[in-house]
Amino acid sequence: MNQLFDIQDFKQKSKQLLKLISEHLEQTVTEPTKKTLSWNEPDDELRFWKEFFKTGNIDDFFPEILKRTTHTHNPKYVGHQVGVTAPITLLTGMLSNLLNNGMAVYEMGMSPNAIERIVTEKLCKAIGYDSPSGGFLTSGGTLANLTALLSARKAKVPHDVWNLGHAQPLGIMVCEEAHYCVDRAAKIMGLGKKGIIKVPANRNFAIDVEQLETYYQRSIAKGIQIFAIVGSAPSTATGAYDDLEAIQQFAEKYNLWFHVDGAHGGAAIFSEKYTHLLKGAEKSDSMVIDGHKMMMMPTITTALLYRNKKHADHTFSINADYLLSETEEDEWYNSGRRTFECTKTMMCLHWYVLLKVYGEKVFGTYVTRQYDLGKEFEKLLLKEPDFEIATSPMSNILCFRYTDSNLSQEDLNEINTKVRQALLEDGEFYLVQTKLRGTLYLRTTLMNPFTTREHLESLLKKIRTRAKKLIPSRVRQ
């Protein structure tokens, strides 16, 4: 134990690590010629760390981790939706790790429970919820969506499913393009495949609101009781925002719980320019916003907000007819009653400190810049005859591909797949791929606040060079 808690040793090690981290930040942000990742095959990576465990020098551990991970702070990181962490949140993370107040009960997190309430109230206000709104922070959009759907079932299904289970088929409605975690949540809740009513997407990959009525009627005719509808803000693959206003009206008509999955783009509530995309969310019953996506926080922290906070209190309560028991004490400070987790990290520190030090404006500025960059990237692509986009971007997510009218769809799918693999192995840029209606697209999420048009131009150049080499010789002139 003495060795484990050798504070002098800690002082020295932490100094070294902080120096390394600061240097890494400086280099990735200001010297964007560096690689975003150094690709290794999974088996090679495994072999390396097995060998390191036996013979490696622990002083090399952090440098090796840095070498063998993907660097979101590099402006040429244009891949997944993972947040580019604001440096100050590295420090709040350390504080949380030190104090380890799990927050399930008030005494094990006096400050964080109070701080979380302040943060969630600010978020509710930004969404446009009236009081008595409220919510909490939880570990990820996936868990938050499941929790919201559990709240929805408790609120809208008259039968006491929580205590008695259910025999009657229940269902939720969601766009086919929604994040897979909604499907997973519904299956965990025992709704089964038939209980997930997948509404087709329109040409722009957002929910086709014209078809809501048909799909609803078809399901209730089969005896399925629908209790909730989920809107994506935006969906993951293409970044398309659903028409939340139309969904809200539909939900109201049939007394459904309206949940907004704003894991990625809920943060647009802070952007004057793009907040219109969330019109209708202010009338939702619940909404999810990930801190670790468009709010520059470390994984994993998600806000789940309710227009009526009473619903949050009763999701996991054994009391079935809660809406009648208004006298029940509002124990806001015992956050474990509302969350799926028993113990969670002091994630509220990131939100509170960012809001206190930089203000809501910093989120607005960031979202606006990244969404603007999406539009700029679209303009660039539209100018190039050998590139095409899947759909006009509504956010900072954009799907595009290299194209050539002499090539078949099959050839193009193959070329774009190979280009993406080549880029991965090259390591300068990091981007991903997705298949939309049978067509393979390269997919970028412009998360990094230092990515510029010039970076994107050089990315296209690189893709073109690679793609041209891959064109089958039978097609080449």
Ligand X SMILES: *Cc1c(COP(=O)(O)O)cnc(C)c1O
Residue with tokens 């230092």: 450
Q: How far from 444 is each of 67, 175, 243, 373, 378, CA to CA, in Å?
A: 23, 22, 23, 11, 11
Nearer to ligand X by Cβ, of 37 and 287: the residue is: 287
Least distance to ligand X from the beta carbon of 380, Å?
24
How far is the C-alpha of 261 from the C-alpha of 347, rounded, in Å? 20
The number of residues making up the chain comes to 477
Nearer to ligand X by Cβ, of 5 and 180: the residue is: 180
Least distance to ligand X from the beta carbon of 180, Å?
8
Least distance to ligand X from the beta carbon of 385, Å?
32
Contact 419, 463 (CB under 8 A): yes
Contact 279, 101 (CB under 8 A): no
Amino acid residing at 380: L
Binding site for ligand X (CB under 6 A): 81, 140-142, 179, 181, 232, 236, 261, 263-264, 290, 300, 302
Least distance to ligand X from the beta carbon of 393, Å?
15
Nearer to ligand X by Cβ, of 263 and 456: the residue is: 263
Least distance to ligand X from the beta carbon of 473, Å?
41
How far is the C-alpha of 394 from the C-alpha of 149, rounded, in Å? 26
Contact 102, 109 (CB under 8 A): yes
Half-sphere exposure of 374 (CA within 13 A, CB side): 25
Amino acid residing at 121: E
How far is the C-alpha of 425 from the C-alpha of 369, rounded, in Å? 29
Least distance to ligand X from the beta carbon of 374, Å?
15
Instruction: State yes or no: cis peptide before 132, omega within 30 of 0.
Output: yes
Nearer to ligand X by Cβ, of 86 and 260: the residue is: 260
- Can you give the C-alpha Rg of the chain in angstroms? 24
Exposed / middle / buried, residue 380 (Cβ in 10 Å: 0-12, 13-18, 19+): middle
Q: How far apart are the first and last CA of the chain?
A: 72
With CB atoms as reference, the residue minimizing the distance to ligand X is: 141
Nearer to ligand X by Cβ, of 290 and 313: the residue is: 290
Least distance to ligand X from the beta carbon of 263, Å?
4
Least distance to ligand X from the beta carbon of 290, Å?
5
3-state percent breakdown (helix, strand, coil) of the chain, nearest 5: 50, 15, 40
Amino acid residing at 392: S
For residue 20 the two structure tokens come to: 């390394």
Nearer to ligand X by Cβ, of 181 and 412: the residue is: 181
Closest CA to 282 of 347, 322, 233: 233
Least distance to ligand X from the beta carbon of 295, Å?
12
